[in-house]
C-alpha cells in the first residue's frame, strides 16, 4: 500500500454496558451475571475505528451527547487518528448507550438507546460533502435515521464515490429501490439478507441456510445493489457480484464475544476495497480481522490493527 486511502464513515457511536452471562436470559427471566465492563461501541464508531486501525485516514460523521460518554468517545476516536471535525456534540440529547449481554458461547443480545445518534441529520452529512468528495469509499449502517443514510448515498452517488452499506440493524421495511440501486457494496448478515430480500430470516434449517443466503443475495442484486456480500459468521461470507457467486471460507477461532465482529468486517473491508484489492482477497482480509475480534471481549477494545491482521493471515497460510 503506497498511500493511506480516505474513508468517510457516517453512523452511530455508543457506550456499551456489557454483562457476561452463562446464557442469554429468556423474556421475564432474571439471571445472575458475571463481570460488568464498559467499552466504546456503536456500529458506525466500531467501523470507523476498524478502518483506521486497518490503515485508512477516516473521517467520521456522527453525533454524541455533550456529556461524559460523548467526551470519552471523542478522545477514543482521536487516539485512533480519526478526523472528528464532523462529530457534533449535541446539547439536546445524551450519547447513545447499548446494553449488551454476552453469553459464554460468544453470542450476544443488544438493546440500544439511540440518544444523539437519532439526531444525526441530512444537514450533518451535507456539511461533510467536501470530505465525501475526496473519499475512496463511504461507509454507512442503519443505526442512524434512514433519511440521513439516504442523503449520504445521494451525495456520494452525485460525486461518484462508491458506497458500502451495512444494513444493520435490519430495517423494518425493504429499502427504497432508488437507495438499493445506488449501493456499490451491500453487506447484510444472513438474517438481514433474508429480511431485505423479502423473507423473515427465521425457521431455516442447517441444510438450506447457504442456499437461502445465495438466493437472497441474488434478489438484492436484481434490486440494483452492485455487489452483495452476505456475512456468515464463522463460516465466512458469500459474495454475489457481476462476476458470479463465490464463497469465502471463515477462520476457526475460539469465540469470546462476537459483539462488533460484523463492524470490524465492514470497516476493514472498506479499507481493502479502497486499496483496490481483488474482491475475494478483500473479503478474506476482512474475515480475518473479524475472526481476531471475536477472540476478545468488547467492541472497540477487540478491534485489531493492520499488523495483527497480516500476521494472523500469514499464520493461517503457514498452518
Nearer to ligand RIB, 9 or 223 (CB): 9
Residues of span 140-179 touching ligand RIB by CB under 6 A: 143
16 near ligand RIB (CB under 6 A): yes
- Rounded least distance, CB 168 to ligand RIB, Å: 7
Taking the C-alpha atoms of residue 262 and residue 186, their distance in angstroms, rounded to an integer, is 13
192 near ligand RIB (CB under 6 A): no
Closest CA to 6 of 133, 109, 135, 118: 135
Taking the C-alpha atoms of residue 165 and residue 263, their distance in angstroms, rounded to an integer, is 11
- Rounded least distance, CB 244 to ligand RIB, Å: 30
Nearer to ligand RIB, 106 or 260 (CB): 260
Binding footprint of ligand RIB, residue count (CB under 6 A) = 16
263 near ligand RIB (CB under 6 A): yes
Which of these segments, 36-44, 82-90, 197-205, 272-280, binds ligand RIB (CB under 6 A)?
Answer: 36-44
281 labelled catalytic: no
14 near ligand RIB (CB under 6 A): yes
62 near ligand RIB (CB under 6 A): no
106 near ligand RIB (CB under 6 A): no
**Sole binder of ligand RIB in the list 259, 266, 293, 302 (CB under 6 A):** 259
- Rounded least distance, CB 113 to ligand RIB, Å: 10
**Sole binder of ligand RIB in the list 188, 236, 260, 304 (CB under 6 A):** 260
**By the 8 A CB rule, do 56 and 5 touch?**
yes
Nearer to ligand RIB, 42 or 162 (CB): 42
**Sole binder of ligand RIB in the list 5, 42, 106, 250 (CB under 6 A):** 42
Residues of span 270-299 touching ligand RIB by CB under 6 A: 299
Per DSSP, the residues of the chain read --SPPEEEEE---EEEEEEEESSPPPTT-------EEEEEE-HHHHHHHHHHHTT-EEEEEEEEESSHHHHHHHHHHHHTT-B-TTEEEESSSPPEEEEEEEETTS-EEEEEE-GGGGG--HHHHHHTHHHHHT-SEEEE-SSS-HHHHHHHHHHHHHTT--EEE---SPPSSPPPHHHHHT-SEE--BHHHHHHHTTS-S-S--HHHHHHHHHHHHHHHHHTT-SEEEEE-GGG-EEEEETTEEEEE-------S--TTHHHHHHHHHHHHHHTT--HHHHHHHHHHHHHHHTTSSSSGGGPPPHHHHHHHHHHHHH-
138 near ligand RIB (CB under 6 A): no
Nearer to ligand RIB, 110 or 282 (CB): 110
Taking every pair of C-alpha atoms in the chain, what is the biggest distance, in angstroms? 55
Catalytic option among 67, 80, 263, 281: 263
257 near ligand RIB (CB under 6 A): no
Active-site residue set: 263
The site for ligand RIB (CB under 6 A) is made up of: 12, 14, 16, 41-43, 46, 98, 110, 112, 143, 259-260, 262-263, 299
Amino acid at each position: 500500500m503506497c498511500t493511506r486511502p480516505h474513508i468517510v464513515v457516517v453512523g452511530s457511536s455508543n457506550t456499551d454496558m456489557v454483562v457476561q452471562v452463562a446464557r442469554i436470559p429468556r423474556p421475564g427471566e432474571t439471571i445472575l451475571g458475571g463481570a460488568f465492563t464498559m467499552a466504546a461501541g456503536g456500529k458506525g464508531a466500531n467501523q470507523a475505528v476498524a478502518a483506521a486501525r486497518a490503515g485508512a485516514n477516516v473521517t467520521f460523521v456522527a453525533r454524541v451527547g455533550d456529556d461524559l460518554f460523548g467526551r470519552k468517545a471523542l478522545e477514543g476516536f482521536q487516539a485512533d487518528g480519526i478526523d472528528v471535525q464532523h462529530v457534533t456534540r449535541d446539547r439536546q440529547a445524551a450519547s447513545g448507550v447499548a446494553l449488551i449481554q454476552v453469553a459464554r458461547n460468544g453470542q450476544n443480545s443488544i438493546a440500544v438507546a439511540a440518544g444523539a445518534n437519532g439526531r444525526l441529520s441530512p444537514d450533518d452529512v451535507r456539511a461533510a460533502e467536501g470530505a465525501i468528495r475526496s473519499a475512496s469509499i463511504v461507509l454507512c449502517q442503519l443505526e442512524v435515521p434512514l433519511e440521513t443514510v439516504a442523503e449520504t448515498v445521494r451525495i456520494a452517488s452525485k460525486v461518484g464515490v462508491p458506497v458500502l452499506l451495512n444494513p444493520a440493524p435490519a430495517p423494518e421495511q425493504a429499502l427504497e429501490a432508488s437507495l438499493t440501486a445506488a449501493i456499490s457494496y451491500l453487506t447484510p448478515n444472513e438474517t438481514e439478507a433474508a429480511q431485505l430480500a423479502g423473507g423473515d430470516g427465521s425457521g431455516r434449517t442447517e441444510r438450506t441456510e447457504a442456499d437461502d443466503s445465495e438466493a437472497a443475495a441474488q434478489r438484492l442484486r436484481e434490486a440494483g445493489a452492485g455487489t452483495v456480500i452476505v456475512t456468515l459468521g464463522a463460516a465466512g461470507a458469500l459474495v454475489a457480484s457481476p462476476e458470479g457467486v463465490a464463497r469465502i471460507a471463515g477462520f476457526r477461532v475460539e469465540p469470546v464475544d462476537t459483539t462488533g465482529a460484523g463492524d470490524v468486517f465492514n470497516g476493514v473491508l472498506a479499507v481493502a476495497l479502497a486499496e483496490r484489492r481483488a474482491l475475494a482477497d478483500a473479503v478474506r482480509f476482512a474475515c480475518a480481522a473479524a475472526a481476531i475480534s471475536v477472540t476478545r471481549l468488547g467492541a472497540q477494545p477487540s478491534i485489531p490493527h493492520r499488523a495483527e491482521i497480516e500476521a494472523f493471515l500469514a499464520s493461517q497460510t503457514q498452518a
